[in-house]
Amino acid sequence: MPEGKFRRAARLLVVPLLLPLLVAASASSAAAQGGTISGTIIDAGTNQPLVAAQVFITGTTLGSTTGADGKYSISGVQPGTVEVNVRRIGYASTTRQVQVAEGQTATADFALSSAAVSLSEIVVTATGEQRKREIGNAVSTIDASKQTELKAPTNIATLIQGNATGVDITSASGTVGNAANIKIRGNTSINLDNTPIVYVDGARINTDARSRGVGGAMSDRMLDIDPSNIASIEIVKGPAAATLYGTEAAAGVIRITTKNGGGGSEGAQFSAHGEYGISWDPNDYSVRAWNPHIDLGDQYKDTTYYIDNLKGSADIPDKALYYDPFRNGPIGKLGISLRGGSEKVNYFTSFDWKDQKGVFVTNGERAYNLRGNFTLKPRENVTIAISNGYTTSSTAYNYNDGESWGYIGAVTLGQPMWTPIMAVDPNAGGAAMQTCPRALEEARITGESLADVTAATCNYDRTFQGSNNFARLETMDNQVKLERYTGSATLTHTQGSVWTNRLTVGYDAYSEYGWNMIPNVPLKVLDSDPSRNVSDIQNRTVTLEATTALNFNLTDKWLSQTTFGGQYYTKQLRGAMPSATNFPPGAYTVGNGAATEGDEAFNEVRTMGVFVQEQLSFADRLYITPAVRFDRNSAFGDNLGSVAYPKVSASWVMSEEAWFPRLPVDEFRLRGAWGTSGKQPGSFDATTLLQVTAVTLPDGSAASGFSTLRQGNPELKPERGQELELGFDASLFEHRLGLEFTYFDKLTKDALVLRPLPPSQGFTSVWDNVGGVKNKGFEAAVDATLLRSEGTTWSMRLAATHVTSMITELAAPIPVGGRGLQEHREGYAFGAYFMRPVSIDGSDQVVVAEDPVYVGQPTPTYTGSLSSTLSLLGNRLTLYGQLGMSAGNKQVNYTEVYQCRQSFGTCAAKYERDANGNPTREARLKADPAANFEPYMFLYDGGFVKLRSLSAQYNLPDSWAGRLGADRVSVSVTGTNLATWTDYPGPDPEVNSQGRQNASQRDFFSAGQTRAVSFGLILNY
Amino acid sequence: MTIMESGGATLLGRAKSTAPALARTILRCGRSVMVAAGLVATVACNDMLRVDDPVNLTPDDLQGGATALTVNGVRGAFQSMFDYYVMHTAILTDEMILAGTFPYRAEMDARSITSNNEGLLGDLYTPLSTARFMADTAVAILDAAAGSGGDEAERLQGVAIAKYYAAYSRMLLAEAFCKSAINGGQGLTSDERMADALTAFQDAGSAAQAAGDAELIAASKLGEARANLWLGQYPAAASAAAEVPDDFSFKAYYSTASVAQKNKIVRLTYAIDEARRFTVGDGSLTFTGYEEWAYFDEWESLGLLEKRPDLTSFNAAVPVVLQLKYLTADAPIVMASGTEARLIEAEVKLRDSDPAGAAAIVNDLRSSHWGLGAISFSGDLATDLPVMARERARELWLTGERLPTLRRYLEDGVDLFPGGKQGTDTCFPVPQRELDTNPNF
């Protein structure tokens, strides 16, 4: 990092890190009065202490959170009998009366029973913290700490995957650092990014994905968040729930809460964790079937043979060129954390390191994360939560994932007839010499000397597609260096139980410095001129939020809570993109290039909104909540004022009605919500834009000109998502069985579409509110504790989501992905595959029908997961497994299409055959490139079932831990992506060579998902 | 940590008694005030929402003429289109063949082009339409700037340049596309569009006269000649061509200063960093059959071509034959020249039953340009037009002239389009996008 940037980053960190200490100093002087309650919270099944359990005194603002040792302490409690309530994600809430005396400490320990459905669970909403029972919509909550131990996720996408209904997550490929696709309840927008917006501790963060110029691989800023720092994740799924998040929330909201210190633990708790593992590529890439006109023998049709041959057998004369590009990619993680504090001040600090190598030799990522979270309570009714996260990482990408001249392309398109081999002259014998199969064959046929034929025909470099052998590919240098700070401060002020004010300031800034370089070395990738393309992106996101909530009783049973709020949000991008070609060896900065170019980028969006919400509750079991938010945005058209987003929701805890049967139901509630939210246009989409171009004048000099870019639309407004969801939550048999069901019907109106204009008009497109998208379906989850006995617990979770997604309004079809395969078309699924039937006319001409025929959709209609957790040996040993499934979608193997078009014979396997087994003439004509029919020959069912995770975690006996001076020592082994069951014949159905995309989908030289086994160690002190 | 038990049953009896007076006051009258204040803040804070774009221009930036910027825009739009135009018409006529893998180019190489073809839309029709639109828009901008106090001579020359490019773009629409539209208007046939181009060239000539620009006067005259030749108005064609000097040329210029300014013919056929997606057919088996450029042997001996078995084409399946006409990425492409004018005159003589007169012109070019011996014409068009096509091909190779030549000769019953193809297309269809979005077409 440049020194200047480092200093700025250091200053950024120092201020938020020191500020809490100053405040703490003043806070410590405030002596508490009354009594104190302290205790330990443990898991009733495992007897292990529970971290992050929330403890509070009912009817007051007093509360605390447990530390890693499960301990808490609350002071300043009014003497007398008080009610202590304890809540935690995944556990049933519990309450107890505790007697407190002035100046004394009362002990109140709790053992919480696990429960999948707990209506008392606290979730963070746009208006503040609320109990689940009050909210009329479904919110998925993930216990990130627990899942991180069970799954050993490498990023947040794999952490969430399979743990929240309605959320479909796929990684674009097995390339380390490639983007993830996260969709909640289907695709909402036709042309805008459907990735949900993300908050970390109240700060909105940037989650842009950006192409790295090596095919479809993208960097993804969503993945910067280190899973080991996350305490919990809440997923707000659609417009009905996300109304108060405003103009950008139609695709859903992910709220991440990072870890904090306990409020009352005994001293500081130190924790260390480490992990080491190996990943490898388990996939079989396309079988070679070289041009049938040249018969070199069956062995050369087999990619496996080919790759094996290149892995260093004695037949390969030049191993430097033909080494094995695959490797076992090691994964290493180390982390330390310190948490603790008092009721007045608590803290969580951590440092984490991750080094993950890809399975291809030039791919990998190294990241460092530093976190410092502080919660201060300078006064009894004032809480300040400060969150600081700093990340620095370096990621190296390689050619694959949509690029034919990458590693996978080199082997699947390479030509075995030029593979270097050692062979004896078939005509004259003698010592083995370096030759190639083609020369050997010609020598056999013609009787010519092998040496002569070799000299005339062998061109070893043509072994590989585009002459890119592995040694050349290894010289390519594509990296991204990241520096990122994400911080927030939230001040909460309460006045009794009546008035709560909250102010949040969030700041997220990163510097993403990337380059794509072909160095000036003798053996260059593509045999190309040396070149260096730099992108230096600076992104800044600022969030300001303020809310005030007022509670008062309308009657003895009716309670009102009115919340007013406002938000200002700005996201700014600045970028510089210098590039150069032809620089001397060793001096590769842009300024050293013989020819240089440069460009800058700028983008900014500002949103301002206010909202008001009124929650009416009856007897703490029926809640009715209407609300409305008004937004203005810098990207709206000039003719548009503010936009209003209304909502209303209801939640009824029926199980607390007197007439409701007590057994076997513990809790049951009905809920429903209707609401709207938006999706804003791009920064300057409403404006007619002309782009500046460089023009060559007759004298050879350069000058500026302009050209058309995009027609503006002063009427442009945000697209509007509207959703109705209905569902229920139930907990039965003493929390042994949990049921969740949600039906949703989501409609996007006025969808922003980049509407094509007649090309003859000069501008090719205009943004317009002319589309409609409907997503309808259900989410269901069953959580069952099958066994709960002394020392043994076995639970299972089955979750399923069904989504039908359809374009309901679109004036004219919009091609998707640029290969003539997919279209957005009214009345069909989002980005559906269409085929134009091909026939042969009387003149033997290929006739392609104008009207397309629907042949499938790229997004799954069913997704699901099955998880099982079995705890044995006094709950010291935990066995965990998770299956993931996806169905209803199709995947096109474009690698095979490409091979087909290059006469690699993949078409031949698809030909209709006549009685003699020869391809029919019609079949061959259909395979003509002009028919563009091949993609449909290679369109397959994309469904799969995967064993995503299998792990075993063992907590060593306390005596063993004690010898290490630790409170807990845990060892684990985790397998990831261990098996796949699918009908898809390509390497992996769960890839997208396009990176993060709404609809464009294909497998085109994509690196399949890797398989990994890792070993972990956790030490708690 | 502070947790508000906002709806808790145990709160019900306490909230009332603990509510402070301030809160009660706010509850009574504050809500409406806060809602109103919020709305006012939302509506009033335009400044906080104002974002300027420093990257792109808006039409307001061009008010008052900005003559150089405007005219340069016209040149730039045309130049960035023209090299691609040349290459795509080249693979339809076999001046070049495909050595890449893009299916939309395979359609063109195979003369079987669907209206959904991506390249048809993205590489041909849209850039050409944009170039035409830019030129027409520039004329409007510069006309509106008349009398605004700027440099009038510069403005007049700008108008002449823009009108020439507007006419030239119309001519290319006519020559390449079976039908075309302008500004979302009705679809015109090639002949109708060429008549439109002819009028535009005449208008450009008048503007060039007003500007006193001799180069543009000659260029416009040659445009008139080419349009008249297409329309079968041979005397007018010869008359206009006669006003063009032998050494005249008008070019599209390129540069190595940036990727966008490079001549894409070089990038796609010669430069190593584009992996040679186009080559010249040497008779080898390709995607679309055995393809051989009709004049391969002669041109190889003239040094126009070079077989390079040591190089690999992009698809690694077609032998590489380099074109040696454009060797560097800053090589200009001739749009109009005295040579073309002479060839027009020769063809008119041929059609006017003066084969000797035609041969005299052609032989002069053969001798002076290539050192080739004399030829003669027979006087039979069916025999002579293929010979004339060969001469035109050599002189005007890779300048976008082969397609209109073959289309014109096809009207005479002489089919010189490459055979052995899957398709029989002789022009590019209108992209489906235009058909779908232009109700007037």
B126 touches A: beta carbon within 8 Å: yes
Alpha-carbon gap, residue A535 to A577, rounded angstroms:
5
Residues of B in contact with A610 (CB under 8 A): 35, 38-39, 41-42
A59/B41 Cβ within 8 A: no
Q: Is the ipTM of this complex over 0.95?
A: no
A83 contacts on B by Cβ (under 8 Å) = 10
Question: What is the spatial distance between Cα B335 and Cα A531, in angstroms, rounded to a whole number?
Answer: 32
- According to DSSP H, which parts of A808-944 are helical? 894-901, 921-926, 934-937
Determine the pLDDT at residue A304.
Answer: 46
- Judging contacts by C-beta atoms under 8 Å, the chain A residues touching residue B266 are none
Chain B residues inside the 8 Å CB shell of A596: none
Q: Is B5 on the interface with A (CB under 8 A)?
A: yes
Residue with tokens 């002020």: A493
**Rounded Cα–Cα distance for residues A737 and A740 (Å):** 10
Nearest CB to B112; choose among A131, A704, A846: A846
- Please state whether beta strands A110-112 and A35-43 pair in parallel, antiparallel, or not at all (unpaired): parallel
Which residues make beta-bridge pairs with B336?
B250
CA distance, residue B345 to nearest chain A CA (Å): 28
Chain A residues inside the 8 Å CB shell of B72? 695, 697, 703-706
Q: Position of tokens 């087994």?
A: A917
Q: Which helix (H) or strand (E) holds B167?
A: helix B152-176
Provide the residue type at A903 as one letter. Answer: S
The answer to whether A656 touches A260, Cβ cutoff 8 Å, is no
Nearest to B20 among A498, A553, A812 (CB): A498
With an 8 Å Cβ cutoff, is B397 touching chain A?
Answer: no
Tracing tokens 């309004």 back to the chain, one arrives at A809
Amino acid identity, position A184: I
Eight-class DSSP state of A268: -
Report whether B355 contacts B379 (CB < 8 A): yes
* Whether B296 contacts chain A with CB within 8 A: no
Chain B (210-249) residues lying within 8 Å, Cβ to Cβ, of chain A: none
CB-CB under 8 Å, A494 with B2? yes
Measure the CA–CA gap between A479 and A205, rounded to whole angstroms: 23
B179 Cβ contact list (under 8 Å, min separation 6): B187, B188, B189, B190, B193, B430, B441
> What's the token pair of residue A464?
């590989």
Residue among A725, A817, A953 at smallest CA distance from A165: A725
- Using the beta-carbon criterion (under 8 Å), do B330 and A696 form an inter-chain contact? yes
Partners of A405 on chain B (C-beta within 8 Å) are 275
| Residue partners of A14: CB distance under 8 A and separation at least 6 | none
Cα of A331 to nearest chain B Cα, Å: 36
Relative to beta strand A382-397, strand A122-125 is unpaired
Distance from the Cα of A121 to chain B's closest Cα (Å) equals 11
Could B5 and A56 be called an inter-chain contact, meaning their C-beta atoms sit closer than 8 Å?
yes
Q: Which two tokens stand for residue A194?
A: 């459907």
d(CA A204, CA A69) in angstroms, rounded, equals 31
Contact by Cβ (8 Å): A311, A32: no
B212: left (phi over 0), alpha (psi -120 to 50) or beta: left
- Tell if the CB–CB gap between A930 and B112 is shorter than 8 Å: yes
- Is B126 in Cβ contact with A691 (below 8 Å)? no
Contacting residues for A566 by C-beta, under 8 A, at least 6 apart: A545, A546, A547, A608, A609, A610, A611, B38, B41
What CA–CA distance (Å, rounded) separates A307 from A298?
A: 15
DSSP class of residue B55?
S
Q: Does B284 touch chain A (CB under 8 A)?
A: no
Helix count and strand count (H, E) for chain B: 19, 10
Q: Show the tokens assigned to B185.
A: 């208007």
* Test mutation, B1, B42, B67, B142, chain A, max A CBs within 10 A: B1
Q: How far apart are CA B402 and CA B393, in angstroms?
A: 6
- Rounded to an integer, what distance in angstroms lies between the CA atom of residue A598 and that of residue A534? 9
Q: Which residues are CB-neighbours of A997 under 8 A, at least 6 positions away?
A: A181, A817
Alpha helices, H only, B338-401: 338-351, 355-365, 381-395
User: Does the distance separating the beta carbons of B257 and A930 come in below 8 Å?
Assistant: no
For residue A168, which of A912, A815, A799, A720 has the smallest C-alpha distance?
A799
Task: Tell me which chain A residue has its CA closest to the CA of residue B48.
Answer: A606
E strands, B72-154, are: 97-98
Which residues sit opposite A37 in a β-bridge?
A74, A106
Beta bridge partners of A618: A558, A622
Q: What are the φ and ψ backbone dihedral angles of A706, each rounded to 5 degrees?
A: -140, 160
Closest to A974 measured CA to CA, from A332, A152, A359: A152
Q: Are A822 and A1000 in contact (CB under 8 A)?
A: yes
Q: What share of chain B is helix, strand, coil (3-state, %, to 5)?
A: 55, 10, 35
- A594 phi, psi to nearest 5 deg: -70, -30
The pLDDT assigned to A12 comes to: 44
Query: Is the CB of residue A552 less than 8 Å from the CB of residue A498?
Result: yes
SS3 category, B437: helix
Residue A149 — φ and ψ, nearest 5°? Answer: -70, -35
State which H helix or E strand residue B300 sits in. helix B296-302
Distance from CA of A299 to the nearest CA of B (A): 21
**CB-based contact, B44 to chain A, within 8 Å:** no
Q: Can you list the alpha helix ranges (DSSP code H) found in A196-265?
A: 239-242
Q: How far apart are the C-alpha atoms of A894 and A404, rounded to whole Å? A: 11
Taking an 8 Å cut-off on Cβ atoms, the answer to whether B72 and A494 are in contact is: no
Q: Tell me the three state secondary structure of residue A10.
A: helix
Which one of A201, A615, A696, A704 makes the best mutation probe of the B interface by having the most chain B beta carbons within 10 Å? A696
B255 contact residues in A (CB cutoff 8 A): 696, 700, 702
**Which among B310, B307, B316, B317 has a CA at the least distance from the CA of A456?**
B310
φ/ψ of residue A637, rounded to 5: -65, 155
Chunked mean pLDDT (size 10), chain A, 1021 residues: 43 45 42 77 80 81 78 85 85 86 88 76 80 90 91 92 93 94 92 92 95 92 94 89 84 93 73 95 63 42 46 49 76 94 87 95 95 91 94 95 84 71 86 83 86 84 67 89 97 87 97 93 77 96 95 92 94 94 88 88 91 94 95 77 90 93 88 91 82 88 86 87 94 91 95 90 89 96 90 93 95 80 93 85 74 92 96 90 96 85 64 73 65 79 97 93 90 96 93 91 92 95 87
Residues of chain A with Cβ-Cβ distance to B12 below 8 Å are 553, 556-557, 559, 620
Asked if A381's CB is within 8 angstroms of B9's CB, the reply is no
- Distance from the Cα of A972 to chain B's closest Cα (Å) equals 33
User: Which residue type sits at A899?
Assistant: Q
Can you list the residues of chain B whose pLDDT is less than 50? 1-35, 42-43
CA distance A974 to A1016: 8
Contact B79 A59 (CB under 8 A): no
A764:B15 CB<8 A: no
Q: What is the DSSP string of B264-291?
A: HHHHHHT-GGGT--EE--EEEEETTEEE
Nearest-by-Cβ selection for B18 from A64, A496, A557: A496
Q: What angle do CA B169, B174, B176 make, to 5 degrees?
A: 90
Q: Which of A618, A739, A624 is nearest to A672 (CA)?
A: A624
Are B100 and B119 within 8 A, CB to CB? Answer: no
pLDDT at position B112? 84
Task: Answer whether B18 touches A (CB < 8 Å).
Answer: yes
Residue B379 distance to chain A (closest CA, Å): 35
- Tell me which residues of chain B, numbers 334 to 393, contact chain A at a CB-CB cutoff of 8 Å: none
**Cβ contacts of B214 within 8 Å, gap of 6 or more:** none
Least CB–CB distance from A689: residue in B26, B58, B77: B58
Q: What is the DSSP letter of A144?
A: H
How distant is the alpha carbon of residue A548 from its chain centre? 33
Q: Tokens 């823009």 identify what position? A: B162
Structure tokens at A799: 């979750």
- Strands A253-258 and A197-200 come out as parallel
Q: Residues 409 to 428 of B: which have CB under 8 A from any A CB?
A: 422-424
**B178 in helix, strand or coil?**
coil
Q: Are A443 and A457 a contacting pair, CB within 8 Å? A: no
Distance from C-alpha of A572 to C-alpha of A511, rounded to nearest angstrom: 12
